[in-house]
């Protein structure tokens, strides 16, 4: 009986339509991967937070997709009029809970009291990143609300110092580090002005299908079929909970996966599901 129910659930999921396209995505800065290719002393470094990217234009808070985040009125009223870029965050290892909170159409005040808006950039602002980092600290101080915080920026003198800090963050449950060139003006698009450093690679892909499970996964999803930005298609068969296999992400969902490196054909090696992108 349980097997029949699982099969029916999977059939219903397969019949779901693709997620409709929302509002136009805002132009933001996206990180390249750190591979020892820069002089780290020229960068400001911060912890890479396991949160949800959120862009504030002075009136509306949006996901990176452009879709509006339905935050409580009091949360938005505490934000300054100037544009902000940062992460909604609740602490290390809380992404799944956070994503559920910020995706709700009707916000829950009690849950949002646990959320912090961690700022790391001022969209369109003049000056170098080091100067903007100072302005971020001043902006947060002037706002004087508990849910608006700046992400701490610090310097390292060399690669050994950077790697030591990386190990400390990962050991404490963090994801990794971000490096932002200190003398860089504000820009958008993917650039080595901003670098991410993690113990593994990660990327995003869109769900295009499902592979039925076998053995102990019979009657539920065995793997996701996904398509990367470059058009390459592959399967993600690991990293899922039993509940996610019973109710996998709908077609059209953007998911994040982790992997070690690329094969000769350019496909991710040992790719594993990490999470659904919150927007």
Say if residue 193's pLDDT is above 70.
Answer: yes
Say if residue 260's pLDDT is above 80.
Answer: no
Confidence of residue 7 (pLDDT cuts 50, 70, 90): very low
Range among 24-28, 137-141, 226-230 rated most confident: 137-141
**Average pLDDT for 76-88:** 97
SS3 string, 198-234, reads CCCEEEEEEEEEEEECCHHHCCCEEEEEEEECCCCEE
Classify 62 as helix, strand or coil.
strand
Task: Of 256, 249, 248, give the one whose Cα is nearest residue 275.
Answer: 256
Say if residue 1's pLDDT is above 80.
Answer: no
Q: What is the pLDDT of residue 5?
A: 39
Mean pLDDT score across all residues of the chain: 89
Distance between alpha carbon 240 and the CA centroid of its chain, in Å?
18
Q: What is the pLDDT of residue 198?
A: 87
Confidence of residue 270 (pLDDT cuts 50, 70, 90): confident
117-137 pLDDT, tens per residue?
999 999 999 999 999 999 999
Distances (CA, A) of 203 to 4, 9, 224: 34, 28, 15
Distance between alpha carbon 25 and the CA centroid of its chain, in Å?
15
pLDDT > 70 fraction of the chain, expressed in percent and rounded: 92
**Average pLDDT for 105-122:** 97
Render 94-136 in DSSP notation, one character per residue. -HHHHHHHHH-SS--HHHHTT-EEEEEE-TT--S-HHHHHHHH
200-256 pLDDT, tens per residue?
878 899 999 999 999 888 899 999 999 998 899 999 999 999 999 999 999 999 999
CATH of 2-21+200-276, one of 2.40.50.140, 3.30.70.360, 3.20.20.70, 3.40.50.10160: 2.40.50.140
Q: What is the pLDDT of residue 125?
A: 96
Domain ranges of the chain: 2-21+200-276, 34-197
Q: What is the pLDDT of residue 23?
A: 64
Say if residue 279's pLDDT is above 80.
Answer: no
- Which active-site residues does the annotation give? 48
Cα torsion through 37, 39, 45, 50, rounded to 10:
0
| CATH superfamily to which 34-197 belongs | DNA ligase/mRNA capping enzyme (3.30.470.30)
């Amino acid at each position: 009986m349980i097997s029949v129910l699982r099969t029916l659930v999977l059939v219903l999921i397969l019949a779901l339509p693709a997620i409709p396209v929302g509002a136009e995505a805002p132009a933001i800065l996206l990180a390249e991967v750190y591979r020892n290719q820069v002089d780290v002393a020229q960068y400001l470094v911060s912890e890479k937070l396991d949160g949800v990217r959120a862009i504030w234009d002075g009136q509306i808070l949006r996901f990176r997709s452009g879709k509006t985040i339905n935050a409580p009125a009091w949360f938005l009223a505490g934000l300054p009029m100037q544009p902000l870029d940062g992460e909604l965050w609740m602490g290390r290892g809380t992404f799944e809970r956070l994503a559920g909170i910020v995706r709700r159409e009707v916000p829950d005040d009690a849950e949002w009291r646990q959320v912090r808006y961690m700022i790391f950039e001022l969209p369109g602002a003049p000056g170098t990143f080091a100067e903007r980092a100072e302005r971020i600290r001043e902006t947060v101080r002037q706002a004087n609300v508990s849910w608006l915080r700046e992400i701490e920026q610090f310097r390292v003198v060399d690669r050994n110092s950077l790697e030591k800090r990386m190990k400390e963050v990962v050991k404490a449950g963090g994801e990794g580090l971000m490096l932002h060139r200190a003398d860089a003006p504000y820009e958008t698009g993917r650039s080595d002005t901003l670098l991410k450093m993690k113990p593994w690679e990660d990327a995003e892909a869109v769900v295009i299908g499902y592979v039925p499970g076998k053995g102990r996964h019979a009657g539920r999803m065995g793997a996701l079929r996904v398509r990367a930005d470059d058009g390459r298609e592959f399967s993600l068969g690991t990293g899922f909970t039993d509940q996610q296999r019973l109710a996998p992400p709908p077609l059209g969902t953007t998911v994040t996966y982790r992997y070690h490196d690329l094969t000769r054909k350019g496909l991710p090696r040992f790719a594993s599901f990490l999470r659904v992108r919150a927007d």
